[in-house]
């Protein structure tokens, strides 16, 4: 691999990913394993349930066949409201095999959210875990175009998933789709308004498998994957579905909330070799009272994404568990990670370099590359990029700039081509005429022995722009004015003198999404200082 760099641009020269045939259906990543003789190998484990590749393929074919036999047509959408369990890959890949378009969403959302998803997608069917039936049906009752509801589990108002699968055929061939046909949608987090439907194509999964999974993970058929990020999320979908199925590895699914205790129990019971999580949960594992006795010796790679991993968490994790974390950045629009540290090119606190197959550059407001070392807007290109935002033409035009995708992130690149996260573009603060990155202040704060977590936003103090830190303390530390002053001095000693929290508020916890991202927009609602 030959790194190439021009100003604020970084590219990598590698063999191009394996080309995808013109007629291609993404569900055939399972068929690869039958051809390779892995029909009897365990594809997934979920609690006491185990499915071989042969059985998983059979269920996917049967589900896809049942959808087509029921009258669903090509590219009609199917809303998936599912926990991480065997039902998810069956419904997701079975829908694609039928030529339909699965739309997995966060099952913990509220009735109004599901009403929006149903209205936005024109979904003709819903596949859901029975525990979510009431709130989803509450959103769906007025829809006359809804063909059926499939329940994973017992519920009188849904057709049982097992019953539907029993009506299908074991050898249902995939729909004759084009590699550029719609395959599935994912919804963005919606932190600044309604979620956006991100439209992905049949070839996108294959591209991520032949880039990040191949060059960074080095995933093998003897690997066992475990992801705390759920399958409805782009990060989790790659970690625990497309990557392992692409090479014939096995995966462990956790249907419940990924608490430190649940993560620890899953790792020690099922012995995964590839572990994927987010900074918030890596930090939670470190702060857990039982952290020191957690056995992570089965793991050969730890991966972090969803938000930037502070160098302090990286150092503490290596010191505690002897494991280095490969931090990277991906987006729903790009489907998976496109910047990453690697085992042989690691810089803690950075997002690493472009994954082979992707290009990245930092540009100014006018779209021109910035000088090396300057900060600006991160844009990226690669063939896993989404086709568009559904029902959002204006946002599509402002985000997709020819081959390039505008990520909405503010970055700088160092002299060695490593990318450093400065914050979301709309998170940057101007104080005293100087731009301040909230991430720099947060990273400095969590290096203090009293601080467990921190989030920084801009505030208005007597008509002036200032920075405010919301701080979660570690056990044994009490809030006080003296500690506020100590934390301010701590930041001044490590950063530019103006880059410190002018206001500090101690809180019990920080608002986060299900994927572990801090919801800064909620903190902004509390930001004006007295």
Average pLDDT over residues 474-487: 94
Which of 21-25, 237-241, 345-349, 490-494 has the lowest average pLDDT?
A: 490-494
- The string of DSSP letters for 190-220 reads -TTSS--EEEEETTHHHHHIIIIIIIII---
Other C-beta atoms closer than 10 Å to the C-beta of 329 total 27
Residue with tokens 């197959």: 357
Average pLDDT over residues 227-242: 97
Q: Which CATH number fits domain 8-16+205-382+403-424: 3.40.50.720, 2.30.30.40, 3.40.228.10, 3.40.50.12780?
A: 3.40.50.12780
What CATH number has the domain spanning 26-37+48-177? 3.40.50.980
In the predicted structure, residue 347 carries a pLDDT above the cut 80: yes
In the predicted structure, residue 3 carries a pLDDT above the cut 80: no
Other C-beta atoms closer than 10 Å to the C-beta of 396 total 16
pLDDT class of 10 with cuts at 50, 70, 90: low
* In 407-480, alpha helices (H): 438-446
Contact 57, 171 (CB under 8 A): no
Q: How many Å apart are CA 107 and CA 95, to the nearest integer?
A: 18
Average pLDDT over residues 509-530: 71
What single DSSP character describes residue 516? S
Angle at 257 between CA 54 and CA 352, to 5 degrees: 80
- Residue 400: which of 411, 385, 410, 390 has the closest Cα? 385
Determine the pLDDT at residue 91: 98
Contact 369, 9 (CB under 8 A): yes
Per the DSSP assignment, residues forming a β-bridge with 116 are none
Average pLDDT over residues 152-158: 90
User: Exposed, middle or buried by CB within 10 Å (0-12, 13-18, 19+), for 145?
Assistant: exposed
Look at 496 and 130; give whichever has higher pLDDT. 130
Residue with tokens 């302090």: 312
Q: What is the pLDDT of residues 418-432, one digit of tens each?
A: 999 988 877 777 676
Pairing of strands 224-227, 274-277: parallel
Contact 41, 250 (CB under 8 A): yes
Percent of the chain with pLDDT over 90: 76
- Residue 164: which of 84, 246, 231, 68 has the closest Cα? 68
pLDDT class of 193 with cuts at 50, 70, 90: low
Determine the pLDDT at residue 372: 83
**Strand order from edge to edge, sheet including 388-390:** 182-187, 197-201, 388-390
Other C-beta atoms closer than 10 Å to the C-beta of 215 total 18
Q: How many Å apart are CA 266 and CA 260, to the nearest integer?
A: 10
The pTM of the full predicted model, rounded to 2 decimals, is 0.86
CB-based contacts of 290, cutoff 8 Å, min separation 6: 260, 261, 264
Determine the pLDDT at residue 498: 76
Mean pLDDT, the chain, integer: 91
In the predicted structure, residue 251 carries a pLDDT above the cut 70: yes
Q: How many Å apart are CA 6 and CA 9, to the nearest integer?
A: 5
Determine the pLDDT at residue 526: 60
Determine the pLDDT at residue 522: 82
In the predicted structure, residue 517 carries a pLDDT above the cut 80: no
Average pLDDT over residues 457-467: 76
Contact 228, 202 (CB under 8 A): no
Q: What is the pLDDT of residues 43-61, one digit of tens each?
A: 999 999 999 999 999 999 9
Determine the pLDDT at residue 17: 59
> Domain extents for the chain?
8-16+205-382+403-424, 26-37+48-177, 430-524
What single DSSP character describes residue 169? -
Determine the pLDDT at residue 466: 82
Q: How many Å apart are CA 267 and CA 326, to the nearest integer?
A: 18
Percent of the chain with pLDDT over 70: 92
Determine the pLDDT at residue 496: 78
430-524: what fold?
A: GMP Synthetase; Chain A, domain 3 (3.30.300)
Determine the pLDDT at residue 168: 78
Intrachain domains 8-16+205-382+403-424 and 430-524 with the same fold: no
Average pLDDT over residues 327-341: 97
Q: How far is CA 317 from the centre of its chain?
A: 21
| Three-state SS letters, 270-331 | HCCCEEEECHHHHHHHHHCCCHHHCCCCCCCEEEECCCCCCHHHHHHHHHHHCCCEEEEEEC
Determine the pLDDT at residue 329: 96
Q: What is the pLDDT of residues 88-122, one digit of tens each?
A: 999 999 999 999 999 999 999 999 999 999 999 99
Determine the pLDDT at residue 423: 81
Determine the pLDDT at residue 430: 67
Q: What is the three-class DSSP state of 264?
A: helix
Determine the pLDDT at residue 8: 61
| Three-state SS letters, 74-86 | CCCEEEEECCCCC
What single DSSP character describes residue 353? E
What single DSSP character describes residue 17? P
Contact 355, 326 (CB under 8 A): no
Look at 225 and 436; give whichever has higher pLDDT. 225
What single DSSP character describes residue 61? H
Average pLDDT over residues 378-404: 96
> Residue 228 — left, alpha, or beta (φ > 0 → left; ψ -120 to 50 → alpha)?
alpha
């Amino acid at each position: 691999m030959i790194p190439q760099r021009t100003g604020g641009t970084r590219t990598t020269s590698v063999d191009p990913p394996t080309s995808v045939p013109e007629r291609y259906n993404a569900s055939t990543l399972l068929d690869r394993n039958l051809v390779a003789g892995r029909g009897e190998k365990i594809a997934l484990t979920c609690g006491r349930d185990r499915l071989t590749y042969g059985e998983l393929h059979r269920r996917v074919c049967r589900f896809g066949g049942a959808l087509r036999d029921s009258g669903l047509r090509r590219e009609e959408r199917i809303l998936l409201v599912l926990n991480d369990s065997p039902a998810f890959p069956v419904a997701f890949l079975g829908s694609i095999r039928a030529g339909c378009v699965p739309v997995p969403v966060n099952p913990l959302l509220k009735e109004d959210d599901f009403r929006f998803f149903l209205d936005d997608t024109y979904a003709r069917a819903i596949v859901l875990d029975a525990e979510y039936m009431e709130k989803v049906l509450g959103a769906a009752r007025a829809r006359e175009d809804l063909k059926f509801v499939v329940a994973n589990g017992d519920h009188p108002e849904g057709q049982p998933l097992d019953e539907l699968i029993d009506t299908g055929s074991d050898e249902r061939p995939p729909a004759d789709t084009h590699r550029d046909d719609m395959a599935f949608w994912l919804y963005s987090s919606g932190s600044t308004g309604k979620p956006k439907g991100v439209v992905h194509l049949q070839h996108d999964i294959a591209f991520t498998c032949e880039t990040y999974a191949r060059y960074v993970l080095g995933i093998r058929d003897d690997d066992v994957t475990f992801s705390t990020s759920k399958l409805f999320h782009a990060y989790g979908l790659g970690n625990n579905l497309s990557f392992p199925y692409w090479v014939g590895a096995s995966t462990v699914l956790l249907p419940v909330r990924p608490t430190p205790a649940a993560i620890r129990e899953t790792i020690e019971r099922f012995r995964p070799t590839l572990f994927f999580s987010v900074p918030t949960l890596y930090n939670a594992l470190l702060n857990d009272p039982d952290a020191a006795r957690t056995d992570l010796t089965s793991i050969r790679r730890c991966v972090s994404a969803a938000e930037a991993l502070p160098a302090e968490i990286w150092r503490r994790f290596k010191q505690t568990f002897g494991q280095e974390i490969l931090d990277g950045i991906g987006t729903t629009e790009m489907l998976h990670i496109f910047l990453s540290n690697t085992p042989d090119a690691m810089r803690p606190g950075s997002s690493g370099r472009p994954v082979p197959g992707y290009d990245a550059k930092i540009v100014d407001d006018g779209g021109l590359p910035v000088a090396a070392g300057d900060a600006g807007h991160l844009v990226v290109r690669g063939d896993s990029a989404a086709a568009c935002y559904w029902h959002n033409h204006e946002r599509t035009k402002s985000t997709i700039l020819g081959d390039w995708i505008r990520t909405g992130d503010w970055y700088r690149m160092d002299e060695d081509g490593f990318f450093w996260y400065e914050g979301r573009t709309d998170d940057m603060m101007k104080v005293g005429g100087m731009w301040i990155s909230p991430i720099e202040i947060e990273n400095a704060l969590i290096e203090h022995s009293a601080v467990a977590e921190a989030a920084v936003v801009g505030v208005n103090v007597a008509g002036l722009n200032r920075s405010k830190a919301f701080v979660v303390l570690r056990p044994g530390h009490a809030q006080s004015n003296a500690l506020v002053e100590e934390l301010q001095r701590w930041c001044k000693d490590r950063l530019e003198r103006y880059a410190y929290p002018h206001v500090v508020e101690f809180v019990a916890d920080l608002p986060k999404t299900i994927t572990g991202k801090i919801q800064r927009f909620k903190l902004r609602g509390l930001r004006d200082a007295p």
